[in-house]
Structure 1
Amino acid sequence: MERLSVLVLMVILAVHRSVGASDVQQPRLNPTPGNHANAGGRVATAAASGPKAEQQWRTYLHTKEGLTKEGLIDSASSMSGATVSRLRLSKDLLPEYGASFDRLAVEATPETPTRLHIKVYPTEGKRWEVPESIVPRPRPNPNLSRNKLTYDFTTEHKQHDGLGAGAFAIKVNRKSNGAPLFDTTGSRFVFKDQYIELTTKLPKSADVMGLGQMIMPGSSVILRRDGSPITLWNRDLPGALAEPYTNLHSSHPFYLQANRDGFSHGVLFLNSNGMDVILGEESLTYKVIGGLVDLYIFAGPSPEDVMQQYQQVIGTPAMPPFWALGNHQARWGYSNYSVVEQVVRNFSRAGVPLEAVWSDIDYMNNRFQTLTLDTKRFPVPKMRALVDKMNAAGQQWVPVHDAGISKMRGYKAYDDGSAANIWMNDYKGQPYVGQVWPGEAVWPDYVSNANTSAWLTEQVASLYKQVPFGGLWMDMSEPANFCTGVSCQADPANKQAVATLTAATPKDFNIAALIRKRTTCQLKCERASPTDKLASPPYAIHNFDITTKTRRHDIEKNIVSVTAKHADGTVRYNTHNLHGTAMAQQHYNAYVAATNKRPFNIIRSTFPGSGRYAGHWTGDNRASWKSLAESVAQTLTPSMWGISMVGPNICGYSDTALASAEQQGFQGSFSTKSKGDAVLDDKGYEQLCNRWTSAGAFYPFSRNHVTLLARPHEPYRWPAVAAAARKAYGLRYQLLSYLYSSLFLAHSQGGTLARPLLFVDPSDAAARSADGQWMMGEALMVSPVLRPDTTTVKKHFPKGNWYSAWDYTKTEVTKPKAHQLDIPLGDVAVHYRGGAIIPTQRYANVTRRVRFSPVTLLVALPLEVSGSQKPEAKTLQGAAPYAGQEACAAVHSANAGRLVSCGLLYSDRDAVEVGSNNTVQVWYAAITSADGKQGGVSSSIKANAGDAAGKLRIEAIHILGLPTTAPAAAVKAPAANAKAPAAQKKAPAAAAKGAAANATAPAPGAKPAPAAAGQEAAAAPALVAATATVNGQAVKAAYDGKVGVLKITGLKKVVVGGPFTVRWKI
């Protein structure tokens, strides 16, 4: 084809909040998966990031149908809602990466007022794109019109270098202020079969979050802009031991950009092929080894708005069962059922709440056959009796389920899968064989094999009938492989290797020697040819190798080969990063089909959309202060990926000190400490676990987990750690309904549970560097200690009123600043945010006993009266809690000049699907006079149906932040104190018996708790006369003028979802 000279056209898609409407569904282009890999050999050196424009495209056809003179689609005349431009190659750049496509189509579709969809693809042939069967995509809003758009896009032809043509570029601007959201002008655009390069400008002052999963060079959720490649290629690597920027288990090509003016937006590059993303000081460059350009741009303007808009595309987070919010315990090394039984008993004796025990591969039958029980160590009758007893007490058992299936005849899962022909095949058309814990293994085709679903449902149902389990723990889901090769098999001539592969699990479960051998490849593997276009693409992404500590390593390393195929012929070169998400989707559906219950599944390997089906633990961290500090960002970043239930291993998975040669030999490279780690003696190990337990109690998914042979660290191992656990989890369990309500909002509308502090006020510059703090929902701020031998720390407080969860002490913040807090060992600072209503309940040691216990509503008064800011300022400087919710927005609008607080109480009975027909959804609003002397609380019922209706009752209301008769609290007022500050300070939040507040075990089933939850103060407060009525009837009201708290009690007949009108006066 004729190569044209460097005459190129500029297509600028400047984003207002603009455009097109159509009631005709737009067809998806090139829907059939296929791989085009016809480029040449590998090139070791990557092109520089953010290059100047040396353009290779010009527009030869611009589709104007449906466009107005301004370049915006007119909804009345547009049939597709898209602007389409055609590009023709003018100069082929980077020929070392193969030939460029001659013609491309650029399709821009405004889909909602805040979402623009841009696709670039070859006009001929089929290109791989993420299947809608795995990540379903929404369709454009058929009623969209130009004036509703928050972004602008137009198409223009601008002169370039005086050559009579313009450069091809994509540009998207915010309509309100003209700020760019995505801008490729002045940079290189390359589109080849196995190499796509696209660069957008970034302001120097902007903060970028979200891309990953990788080892971050520090503990901040903010990504560094140093030009280092962030590689998206899922790997089974122990994160704590890898180098900065090492690619780990998940791939998320999404970023959130938070500008200093308070505006935020997001960009998703929906592509499952391997890629490098290079963040420079003024640019972000994608370098992708396949697929097409599929961009979604989300205009925000707040960070939480971006999260909701993003999840409208990838799906909202799964709603977990209520019990998932409890305290979880796991270990590799619970070697038989009696050990599990003893763990449960020890938690009970220590008074530490326990919701579920998670079993690692220990439970599996001969040769680690997943979803089977070892007949000697976990015999079905004994295990069934144990789990039945746990279930009766409100506790759960959860088994691990590995991705690789043992290739052993007589193993039902393997035999059934072979009969159904569900395995992924190698390039020869035979089941691809690799090696993991069982030895020889095969992998189900979760992406395109129609038979896999029925097979998986049968395997899940088979184990569930023997021993019921609450969910599945999906491991090795990248998928991991201890071998590397395009085709592998056992070598009968190598008797030692065959013996290792076929060795049975030792009866005493002393497996260290076996594991040490089995993690080394024992198969005879055929390696890919150096000229293989899939195994050795021309551009080498920066894949990390932990053995050599080098980047740009073979993408075939320790995975199921990229040359392996799915049932529809698609190669794993395209689907590798999708495996975990497809696996999560299939397992969610299989559990529901087998049990008719809502599952709680977690998985290690994720991609956009994984959160719809599973939670996520962040992989193999380390028992070190460095890992504890990094755990905050490791929790918040997946939350921005759309995964609500996320958490690192509490107290660390791997150990920094190994006491024996056996441990060192077993752990191999794991036995050396990572950079920044100090070897902890037993005393240091205990202190670390104490602090980590206090912090981890407020991860969304809160689980203690440790590897085989490492020092154990269940919280009951040390009295002081057990006390810290009782205190922190005591508060968490009181807040279960608040957390569950927050999860429901994320599930039903999109959004986050755990979020960075900058989400509170996007214009608060200091909040961006508050690495060791986070929000849980709209109203809970968590500030743990993350350094050794430290009790006094400075923590950032955004503007507003903040109330200690331990004693209701108010910290009034008129300007964002750091406050000094005293947080002794065993404590964690937790604050309620002014302007919210938080439901709390009585403490119990299992979530089932908390779920429908009486409710105390905490009404936290805000700093400022409603209507004190302009609407746009409310967004840029932080909106009031729940101000974006319809029920609360109406209250704010109608009560300018008053103090407004708002909150949600949500309840259900764990139905698989939730809606208005089987849930309780009640919004509460409190309106208080500006002087704080009188006010009221009322409810707005959105749903009140199903088995949960009528189960909850309100027993008390606490109004926080009323005028005091004592001087205001000093800035240095501690947020928490291990010696029961609630009782010592005569605050209304003390536990009735002081047990949990003093960090000692509450009696089993006792009501006391470490914070408020309807309990009275241990010492007499400075009471002031107060009156209150509920539904017109007088009730008890006690006002403590010293701390400014009004406690309204005696409401036990008030049913949540029934009539509710409270009036009070002091």
Structure 2
Amino acid sequence: MVSVLAIFLILSREHFSSRITEGSEVHTAWKKTQIPAFASKTNKSPDLCQISDLKFDCHPEADAVENVCIKRGCCWNPVGPKNGIPWCYYPYGFSYFAFNNFTSTKLGLQGTAVSVRLSVRPKDVKNLNIQVIYETEDIVRIKITDAQSPRFEVPLDYATAEKKSEIKIISFDNHGMVFKFDSSVAPLIYSDQFLQVSTSLVSSYLYGIGETVDSLHKGGEWKRYVLFTRDQIPGYNRNLYGSHPFYMVVDNKGNSYGVFLANSNAMGCQWNDLDYMRNQDDFTVDPKKFAGLKDFVDDLHLRVGKYRPYDEGLKMDIFIKNEEGRPFVGKVWNPKATVWPDFSLPNITSYWLNQLQDFRGKVSFDGAWIDMNEPSNFDDGEHNKGCAKNSLNNPPYLPQVTGGSLYSKTLCPLRSRLVADTTICIIYMEHKKQSLHTSKCGTCISYFKIVLGDLTNERPFIISRSTFPGQGRFGGHWTGDVVSSWEDLRQTIPQILTFGLFGIPLVGADICGFNGNTTVDLCKRWMQLGAFYPFARNHNTDDGIPQDPASLGPEVISASKETLTVRYSLLPYIYTSFFQAHLTGQPVARALFYEFADDASTFLIDSYFMLGSSVMIVPILEENYNKPTITAYLPKGWWYQHYFSEIIESLGEERQLTIPDNSIPILYRGGTIIMKQDPALNTQLSRHNKFHIHVFLSQDSNATGEFYWDDGVSNLPDTLVQYDHFTFNTEKNVFTMRKEFSGYDSSNMTLGSIEIRGVMFPVSSAVLNNIPYNYNYSEHDKTLKLDDLSLTGASWTDGLTLKWN
């Protein structure tokens, strides 16, 4: 049976200047649909087939033919090469349902949809209940359910409304709504193994939908995206490791909305980190390569012929079963065989806690790297058996997945309790005895957060390859087995920016590439970029050349040291950006359009990006780039260069940026204030160093910012975390730092300096907390600086006021 279909509409009103209408507009979208009499014989009504830009595929299966298309009541027009353009498409106004009886409720609206004709899909659901729930001022939830039978619902935790919000639906113009089910595009289909819902977009500026390799902007015409988790090397037109059914649309005035489709898939999940393992077995250590890891070799000798994780899994009955009721056996890295835990079972947490507890007694690890959790399988289905032929393993509609089947390089959908989820048409399948394929990777990660938190009593660090909506609460992501190539280097930026939109701020790519061999030039440029990934890690395959900077020589070493030093100096600012992400969900690495939504010139930029709201990173992405400058578009305002004193006054235009030695252009946005810190060899040592406040004035001499600080490891609820939170403000020659929340022991925090850039007139005095201070003012650099402050503890963390004349 199909899952419940839930749609969340997220509205951004920050930049809206167009008409705002009351929530009754949602109601008008559900007025009774007029079903045209031509619907069963559409091809005889040529005017209704005269559609140019809104052709929605009526035959998403491969190899559409005219007679089948016409039987479906659709239009046939085989004009030119396909290029993704459907030859078989729905006529204007085609519908399978009539929408009736919409009334107001405590939380919004409710109504019904009644089938007026059968679709071509097996086992249509004929009666639907529809709920429109005003969750918050900015979120509408639309829930479509089978009126007769209860069905599986995605087990995601999200806040639900207790009373109707005073929501307003925002129109982009005076005629239409921000979002609606558009029967003029394609009909709603709700059958046992096929769901379809359509909407027309108000703009071609489309973002999100993944995991895929593509540009940040996905507004190209006639594209199809398949969302079905799979282990494979990233490439174009491939369904990859994660599934994120979320998209965002921005119009050319900066108005935006997002749509999250709460559909699901289930999975078993396995994690691997190979190098230290014996025979690639989880919870083991290679006795030759890692002989010094405590007394683990002795433990291995005591356990000859046994593998405790498997033995205990059998005893606890936590493995996914085959048709005979025995553990489903496939193949991953272990030389012999692999089994998968079932994360839907109630005792799975106890199992993982036992295994991790036992392993941590041997190796005091700090976090979890979860790999191969799509779930990956080197066999297609069960080892030497494949998958039984039935409608769940071989559904009547097969999404255009890589490999040509739902069990290619994974488990059988039926026996492994998998679900298929797929394209932008929102088609997915489910069975009442199934759990989740795609969403189980997220479930797996949430278990790890619980278990690691209990085990270490510290904030868990978790990185996962396969991801699902909601994972950003529990861990991060790396973009998988990228190739050491210039094209893959370029593609990491749109991938990372897109995952920020998915609510996973801790994201990065394998610096210098994973597969293949890197080069000095490529690795140098990748280290310069990767130093500013939210999650920065140099990582490669075991059969490639070494690619740590020291192995590649002085050129890579110098570039790595320089950019990593800048990253470490920015750690307080980056940490504050993660605090903002925790509170609001906004990304850490941000596309320019995210910060400058009223500037349409930023909408297609994905070769450079913002780190937080203040810092712009402009990497070099071309081989053998020897020019002294690089071109980048700078939105309107003042911009300050990290390496050079010149203030760039941009009107919203492309500018030539000077490339510093061993680094890349790094710019600070005028009107912002950030906290830096003297860098050290690691983050723990850096925490003991001096802090430095940096103010970058706007053209009108104002600036704002904030700073968050805690111990970096406490695993406590938000209400119990001991932290300090400060806000910064500068206007009319007065800088202030105000403590908004006090809870952290700041006695070991030292302020070393305050630097204000963009001070356009000479300074005659500087008074800090009512005490005159020595200062330096550079008329050439337009910079005021108070050095060697050495203020400790409450003398500065209780608040600061700096005035200058």
Name the structure 2 match of 1:137.
158
* Match of residue 577, structure 1, among 411, 422, 438: 438
Q: 1:82 to 1:928 in 2, by over 3 A?
A: closer
Name the structure 1 match of 2:47.
none
How far has the Cα of 1:360 moved from its partner? 3.8
Name the structure 1 match of 2:764.
1026
Name the structure 2 match of 1:453.
349
Q: What secondary structure does 1:629 align onto?
A: helix
Name the structure 2 match of 1:927.
730
Instruction: Supply the AA of the counterpart residue of 2:550.
Output: Y
Q: 1:85 to 1:175 in 2, by over 3 A?
A: farther
Contact 2:726 2:738 in 1 (8 A): yes
Name the structure 2 match of 1:673.
none
Residues 982-1021 of structure 1 aligned to structure 2 (within 5 Å): none
Q: What secondary structure does 1:575 align onto?
A: coil
Q: 1:17 to 1:829 in 2, by over 3 A?
A: farther
Distance 2:458 2:723 in 1: 19
Name the structure 1 match of 2:693.
857
2:649 is the counterpart of 1:817: no
Contact 1:852 1:951 in 2 (8 A): yes
2:405 is the counterpart of 1:607: no
Q: What secondary structure does 1:859 align onto?
A: strand
Q: What secondary structure does 2:231 align onto?
A: coil
Q: 1:910 to 1:426 in 2, by over 3 A?
A: same
Name the structure 1 match of 2:261.
269
Name the structure 2 match of 1:561.
412
Q: What secondary structure does 1:441 align onto?
A: coil
Q: Tell me, which stretches of 5 or more residues in structure 2 are unaligned?
A: 1-10, 12-18, 26-59, 70-87, 298-303, 420-429
Once structures 1 and 2 are overlaid, which stretch shifts more, 839-848 or 910-919?
A: 910-919
Name the structure 2 match of 1:538.
396
How far has the Cα of 1:429 moved from its partner? 2.4
* Match of residue 432, structure 1, among 314, 325, 328: 328
RMSD of equivalent CA atoms: 2.9
Name the structure 1 match of 2:168.
150
How far has the Cα of 1:842 moved from its partner? 0.7
Contact 1:562 1:571 in 2 (8 A): no
Q: 1:922 to 1:613 in 2, by over 3 A?
A: closer
How far has the Cα of 1:183 moved from its partner? 4.2
Name the structure 1 match of 2:274.
361
Q: 1:906 to 1:854 in 2, by over 3 A?
A: same
Distance 1:737 1:176 in 2: 45
Contact 1:939 1:1061 in 2 (8 A): yes
Distance 1:51 1:707 in 2: 51
- Listed one character per residue, the Cα deviations across residues 599-633 of structure 1 (whole Å, up to 9, x for unaligned) are 11100000101111111000111111111111111
2:805 is the counterpart of 1:1053: no
- Listed one character per residue, the Cα deviations across residues 855-914 of structure 1 (whole Å, up to 9, x for unaligned) are 11001101246xxxxxxxxxxxxxxxxxxxxxxxxxxxxxxxxx2433324333411125
How far has the Cα of 1:17 moved from its partner? 5.5
Name the structure 2 match of 1:214.
212
Q: What secondary structure does 2:226 align onto?
A: strand
Q: What secondary structure does 1:562 align onto?
A: coil
- Listed one character per residue, the Cα deviations across residues 428-471 of structure 1 (whole Å, up to 9, x for unaligned) are 3222111111131111111x201110110111111212121111
How far has the Cα of 1:201 moved from its partner? 0.5
Q: What secondary structure does 2:555 align onto?
A: helix
* Match of residue 939, structure 1, among 732, 737, 749: 737
Q: What secondary structure does 2:241 align onto?
A: strand
* Match of residue 805, structure 1, among 633, 639, 642: 642
* Match of residue 620, structure 1, among 481, 489, 510: 481
Q: 1:92 to 1:1025 in 2, by over 3 A?
A: closer
Distance 2:412 2:241 in 1: 16
Q: 1:223 to 1:652 in 2, by over 3 A?
A: same
2:349 is the counterpart of 1:441: no
How far has the Cα of 1:475 moved from its partner? 0.5
How far has the Cα of 1:212 moved from its partner? 0.6
Contact 2:108 2:164 in 1 (8 A): no
How far has the Cα of 1:363 moved from its partner? 0.7
Distance 1:182 1:940 in 2: 45
- Listed one character per residue, the Cα deviations across residues 106-159 of structure 1 (whole Å, up to 9, x for unaligned) are 11111111110001121011222212xxx11211153633xxx2316xxxxxxx
- Listed one character per residue, the Cα deviations across residues 983-1017 of structure 1 (whole Å, up to 9, x for unaligned) are xxxxxxxxxxxxxxxxxxxxxxxxxxxxxxxxxxx
* Match of residue 747, structure 2, among 947, 950, 961: 950
Q: TM-score, normalised by structure 2?
A: 0.83
Q: What secondary structure does 1:581 align onto?
A: helix
Q: 1:457 to 1:108 in 2, by over 3 A?
A: same
* Match of residue 527, structure 1, among 374, 387, 390: 387
Q: What secondary structure does 2:469 align onto?
A: coil
Distance 2:771 2:125 in 1: 77
Distance 1:687 1:49 in 2: 49
Name the structure 2 match of 1:688.
522
Q: 1:195 to 1:51 in 2, by over 3 A?
A: farther
Name the structure 2 match of 1:117.
141
Distance 1:58 1:723 in 2: 67
Contact 1:623 1:653 in 2 (8 A): yes
- How many pairs are equivalent? 707
- Listed one character per residue, the Cα deviations across residues 264-314 of structure 1 (whole Å, up to 9, x for unaligned) are 11001110149xxxxxxxxxxxxxxxxxxxxxxxxxxxxxxxxxxxxxxxx
* Match of residue 591, structure 1, among 452, 457, 463: 452
Instruction: Supply the AA of the counterpart residue of 1:444.
Output: P
2:672 is the counterpart of 1:836: yes
Contact 1:112 1:141 in 2 (8 A): no
- Listed one character per residue, the Cα deviations across residues 503-542 of structure 1 (whole Å, up to 9, x for unaligned) are xxxxxxxxxxxxxxxxxxxx4214321xx11011111101
- Listed one character per residue, the Cα deviations across residues 1013-1062 of structure 1 (whole Å, up to 9, x for unaligned) are xxxxxxxxxxx553222221222211000010000134322536633333
* Match of residue 253, structure 1, among 245, 254, 278: 245
Contact 2:690 2:751 in 1 (8 A): yes
Contact 1:802 1:831 in 2 (8 A): yes
Q: Quick one: percent identity of the two aligned structures?
A: 27
* Match of residue 539, structure 2, among 702, 705, 719: 705
Distance 1:602 1:650 in 2: 15
Name the structure 2 match of 1:283.
none
* Match of residue 558, structure 2, among 718, 723, 747: 723
Q: What secondary structure does 2:707 align onto?
A: strand
Distance 1:542 1:825 in 2: 47
Q: 1:842 to 1:49 in 2, by over 3 A?
A: farther
How far has the Cα of 1:698 moved from its partner? 0.4
- Listed one character per residue, the Cα deviations across residues 902-944 of structure 1 (whole Å, up to 9, x for unaligned) are 3324333411125354333332333332xxxxx2222222222
Name the structure 2 match of 1:227.
222
Q: What secondary structure does 2:560 align onto?
A: helix
Q: 1:150 to 1:128 in 2, by over 3 A?
A: same
Name the structure 1 match of 2:189.
190
Instruction: Supply the AA of the counterpart residue of 2:414.
Output: T
Contact 1:926 1:937 in 2 (8 A): yes
Q: 1:611 to 1:91 in 2, by over 3 A?
A: same
2:289 is the counterpart of 1:377: yes
Instruction: Supply the AA of the counterpart residue of 1:18.
Output: G
Distance 2:90 2:557 in 1: 53
- Listed one character per residue, the Cα deviations across residues 829-859 of structure 1 (whole Å, up to 9, x for unaligned) are 1111111111011121111111232111001
Name the structure 1 match of 2:573.
738
2:636 is the counterpart of 1:796: no
Q: 1:750 to 1:625 in 2, by over 3 A?
A: same
Instruction: Supply the AA of the counterpart residue of 1:839.
Output: M
Q: 1:201 to 1:57 in 2, by over 3 A?
A: same
Q: 1:769 to 1:383 in 2, by over 3 A?
A: farther
Distance 1:174 1:651 in 2: 43
Q: 1:273 to 1:375 in 2, by over 3 A?
A: closer
Distance 1:268 1:811 in 2: 39
Q: Greater relative contact order (Cα 8 A, min sep 6): structure 1 or 2?
A: 1
* Match of residue 636, structure 1, among 497, 507, 523: 497
- Listed one character per residue, the Cα deviations across residues 741-785 of structure 1 (whole Å, up to 9, x for unaligned) are 110111123211011011121121221222211111111110011
Instruction: Supply the AA of the counterpart residue of 1:209.
Output: Y
* Match of residue 765, structure 1, among 590, 595, 600: 600
Contact 1:737 1:907 in 2 (8 A): no
